[in-house]
Amino acid sequence: MERLYEKDENGNVIKGNVVSIDTKKCIIAGSDKLIATLGIEDVIVVDTEDALLICSKDKAQNAREIYCRS
């Protein structure tokens, strides 16, 4: 996702209704519901109709484990 979308001045990729304060190098994606971040770095936040995922970027490759357990 980072390669597909433009980053803001703090290196964040943001899609949806997001307010980010002191947030750096994150991927934050949602739709209409507000996502607010404060003081985080190198984190992925994805909010869908079915689930909310919050993980550090260095653990993103393990997200399939969550899917298999649900």
Identify the H or E element spanning 68.
Answer: helix 63-69
Domain locations along the chain: 13-69
pLDDT tens column, 43-70: 999 999 989 999 999 998 888 888 777 6
**pLDDT range class, residue 1, cuts 50, 70, 90:** low
When comparing pLDDT for 31 and 70, which is higher? 31
pTM for this model (two decimals): 0.87
pLDDT value, residue 68: 73
Cα 52 to Cα 7: distance, rounded to the nearest angstrom: 22
Nearest to 44 by CA among 66, 65, 32, 59: 59
Contact 44, 26 (CB under 8 A): yes
